[in-house]
Amino acid sequence: MPKMKTHSGAKKRFRLTGSGKIKRRRANRAHYNEWKSSKLTRRLKPEVVLSDADAKKIKKLLAK
């Protein structure tokens, strides 16, 4: 059976940590930041670990 290809959209949005967890960016930080409060943009800044239920699906897309 041939190797499974990596999903192009998923590889741009998710990263694997050293322990195998999947990290993602938070939504609402891309643009229109001018009128968002600093408190909000700081809260949205860090990357977060994906939930276990979603991680299983994303790992399949990343061919891991």
Alpha helical stretches, state H, 1-64: 8-13, 38-44, 52-61
The per-residue pLDDT string of the chain (64 residues; one tens digit each, 9 = 90 and over) reads 898 899 999 999 999 999 999 999 999 999 999 999 999 999 999 999 999 999 999 999 998 7
pTM for the full predicted model: 0.79
**Looking at the domain 8-61, which fold is it?**
Factor Xa Inhibitor (4.10.410)
CA-wise closest residue to 42 among 26, 56, 62? 26
Give the model's pLDDT for residue 1.
84
Sign of the four-CA dihedral 35, 38, 43, 44 = positive
Give the model's pLDDT for residue 46.
94
